[in-house]
Amino acid sequence: MSDGLQYNSLESLETLRKSALAEFEAIGTEADAENFRIKYLGKKGILSELKKSLGTMAPDQRAVFGAAVNSLSKDVEGKFKETPWQNKNAGSAADSGFDPTLPGFPFSSGSLHPLMKIRNEIRDIFITMGFSIAYGPEVESDYYNFQALNMPPFHPARDMQDTFYISDKTVLRTHTSPVQIRVMEKQKPPIRAIMPGRVYRNEEISARSYCLFHQIEGLYVDENVSFSDLKGTLLAFSRSFFDEKTHIKIRPSYFPFTEPSVEVDVECFLCKGKGCGICKYSGWLEILGAGMVHPNVFKYCGIDPEKYTGFAFGMGIERIALLKYGIDDIRLFYENDARFLKQF
């Protein structure tokens, strides 16, 4: 267990504060200061581990505990900037070219956005399962975004997606499925690839929806690919991403480019199916849509549907991040509030 995870109550944080301040007062050399920095402020230090642990807490507990952790971190960082050895060469600053007005050590640095952390984690899991990565343009033609996905002009399924039109034949893509078409046009089966990227919907911005979001879709095409292959792949992913004992539930659904189509729920990783606020006391969380590739889609791509079968799936990265971190407002991901981002 990491040192920081021992401190899981407000009382233990106060004990940690007293211990850190006592160790600070005992600093006498540059080596002492560096050891103090690594122990408390380093990348794997106690305070960093405490901040990482906030994501596993219930929202109400995280608010109180997170404020205490931030206060402790601010105090320790402030004290550390007072270490005498940082200023021992101040007299020769002009000669050395050192600017004493620059921020003190340790230097603050950026980190991956929480959405990119989730995207990379999902991506890496599928890479280990043999999937390659494919990308495509965000400004798409009507053909790739709709028609080749079994949604010809005036098809009612087009109304399922509120689309940003640049012109009559050009749109901001509403999903990453067009990349699947481009891959199948250029590559002969077997095909096994994932398609991460940004997509756009003309939706009202609220706590649960935004005008842009991120998806990862997957595609597997070969001879004799079955629905059981789809189920096994999604179960393996869920147990790798959430918990090795996770269960999934598959429900019938409708997507124009797959038949049959399903939606997949994962057993709530917080309450283990017992019911909590995150899963709305159902014990299940909806994470993605999937299905067997429709024969019409194969025909558009020049693949023989009599010889080949395949499955496709797609998930929203924001939705996964909201569930995993227990966040209740999607807009927080786009406000660039450092107080929010530093928690990750």
The answer on pLDDT for 308 being more than 80 is yes
Burial of 166 (0-12, 13-18, 19+ CB in 10 A): exposed
Q: Who has greater pLDDT, 138 or 15? A: 138
SS3 at position 298:
helix
* Average pLDDT of the residues in 266-272: 78
Task: Walk me through the domains of the chain, giving residue ranges and CATH numbers.
Answer: 3-86 (no CATH), 114-341 (3.30.930.10)
* Average pLDDT of the residues in 276-285: 79
pLDDT (tens digit per residue) in 65-112: 878 888 888 888 887 777 665 544 444 444 456 666 666 666 667 788
pLDDT at position 105:
64
Report residue 149: phi and psi, to 5°: -100, 30
End-to-end CA distance of the chain: 19
Residue 293: enclosing H or E segment and its boundaries?
strand 284-293
| Residue 252, beta-bridge partner list | 262
Amino acid at 180: Q
Residue 158, token pair as written in the block: 């087009």
pLDDT (tens digit per residue) in 104-131: 666 667 788 999 999 999 999 999 999 9
Residue 102: enclosing H or E segment and its boundaries?
none
pLDDT at position 75:
82
SS3 at position 69:
helix
Least confident stretch, 42-46, 132-136, 143-147, 315-319: 42-46
> pTM here?
0.66
